[in-house]
Structure 1
Amino acid sequence: MDNETAGTRLPDMVDIPRNIRTRREQLGLTRADVCARAGLPLKWLVELEAGDAPLSRAALGGLAVALETSVTALMSGTFGTQRTIRDNPSVPDVRSLIRMSENECRARLATHEVGRLAGGMEHVPWVLPVNYMSDGRDIVFTTRPGSPLAHVRGTVAFEVDDVDRYARLGWSVLVIGVAEPVTDPVEIARLKEAGRDAWPARHGELWFRIHPGRVTGRRLRPRPSRR
């Protein structure tokens, strides 16, 4: 995993604050220097290094760029001889939206449990949040009887994103597919077992499956730093 693909692995918040501080001191940078590079608030970085501030996947990528290292190194604490942005002047000093491959989109979908389902475009459009999980190449979700989603059928759009307003980084994945109910008791039992740690089971819940026809996504490339 590199700076641009932060988001497919959950960070370890026990070691990362220490690793960030170690790398910053290794470069001879003050906290203010790092915040100026990454466009982050100083108070947040002070709290982060003390282990008192949350760190999202997107912010981790931005810090890696500001500290001229990789996300992998910040997670592992291994700071050997590394190629930095100063060694690669061809890196543009601009943020840009990068199209993600389908595999990267699916990897990011697997890190979340809540998305937005949209449908009804031919009548009255609607968008509703749903708990979900990946099942092979499909997306499965549950709803209660009587919910507006209880009768969802046919083509739908499903969207998941992760945005960090401090680091001004993020990504978004969009799935266009066909939704259908899951009615096989054996299949439902398997899905319940697979999802029992994802969200609480509800009596009489209805299960649905989305067969993706198109999976696309974009991420915002972190802004390279300069010295």
Structure 2
Amino acid sequence: MDNETAGTRLPDMVDIPRNIRRRREQLGMTRAQVCARAGLPPKWLVELESGDAPLPRAALGGLAVALKTSVTALVSGVFDPPKAGTPDARSLITMSEKECYARLATHEIGRLAGSLDGTPWVLPVNYLLDGKEIVFATRPDSPLAHVRGTTAFEVDDVDRYARLGWSVLVIGVVEAVTDPVEIARLAEAGDRAWPARRDELWLRIRPGRVTGRRLRPRPARR
């Protein structure tokens, strides 16, 4: 799976500052010029290129724009212009089910669709990926506690600075988890990620269809 969308794998934080400096020098730009374009403090860029400052994902996207390249190029260090005839495509790429699950495993928050008294709603849900099933806990008085049957569950990750992202949609059937052994196992796993209460209800989404798309990045340009 290519490291070209937000939230997949963390890039090599040793090589990226070197790539940023090399790209800046390739363009003949000063640190002040780059930071003015990216809206970042020059002192931070000095420390970053020296390997002494953290690099937030949002800042990486801003630097890519300022340096007239892409996040992918800053990560890889390949700044060659695209070959003649290469389309500057920003097309959406359909992901395989395997890639969709790999993306789901990197996140903990999704959105579940449902309805109550004839009124549709979409609510955020902190979830666990249990094999190929989505599990989550909720309060007995929450609208989520009443969801049963076929529903839609969506997870995405978007970096608006780099204009990259992906989205996964799960269509499946929601069922209550009633086995005490299963509840104890899920509660233990949930305690490691999110605070859980003893009176919470556990629900499981058994997927029927899992689809996803990701945005292809622009080829790097000089």
Larger Cα-atom Rg: 2
- Is 1:223 the counterpart of 2:218? The answer is yes
Superposed displacement of residue 148, structure 1? 0.8
Partner of 1:7: 7
- Is 1:18 the counterpart of 2:20? The answer is no
Alpha-carbon separation, structure 1, partners of 2:80 and 2:214: 20
Partner of 1:76: none
Query: Scaled by the length of structure 2, what TM-score is found?
Result: 0.77
Query: Scaled by the length of structure 1, what TM-score is found?
Result: 0.76
Instruction: Confirm or deny: 8 A CA contact 1:144 1:150 kept in the other structure.
Output: yes
Partner of 2:177: 182
Partner of 1:30: 29
Instruction: Confirm or deny: 8 A CA contact 2:157 2:165 kept in the other structure.
Output: yes
The number of aligned residues is 211
Superposed displacement of residue 196, structure 1? 2.3
Superposed displacement of residue 96, structure 1? 1.5
Partner of 1:43: 39
Q: 1:192 to 1:11 in 2, by over 3 A?
A: farther
Alpha-carbon separation, structure 1, partners of 2:60 and 2:200: 34
Decide which moves more: 40-49 or 140-149: 40-49
Gaps of 5+ in 2: none
Alpha-carbon separation, structure 1, partners of 2:96 and 2:145: 32
Q: What does residue range 4-153 of structure 1 map to in structure 2 within 5 Å?
A: 4-5=4-5, 7-11=7-11, 15=14, 18-25=17-24, 27-28=26-27, 30=29, 41-44=37-40, 49=45, 50=48, 51=53, 54-55=56-57, 59=61, 66=70, 69=73, 71=75, 73=76, 85-86=80-81, 88-120=83-115, 123-153=118-148
Could you tell me which of 187, 192, 204 is aligned with 2:187?
192
Decide which moves more: 186-195 or 126-135: 186-195
% identical aligned pairs: 59
Instruction: Confirm or deny: 8 A CA contact 1:48 1:54 kept in the other structure.
Output: no
Decide which moves more: 183-192 or 41-50: 41-50
Instruction: Confirm or deny: 8 A CA contact 1:24 1:67 kept in the other structure.
Output: no
1:55 aligned partner, one-letter code = R
Gaps of 5+ in 1: 74-78
- SS in structure 2 at match of 1:18: helix
- SS in structure 1 at match of 2:192: coil
User: What value does the CA root-mean-square deviation take over the aligned residues?
Assistant: 3.5
- SS in structure 2 at match of 1:161: strand
- Is 1:162 the counterpart of 2:188? The answer is no
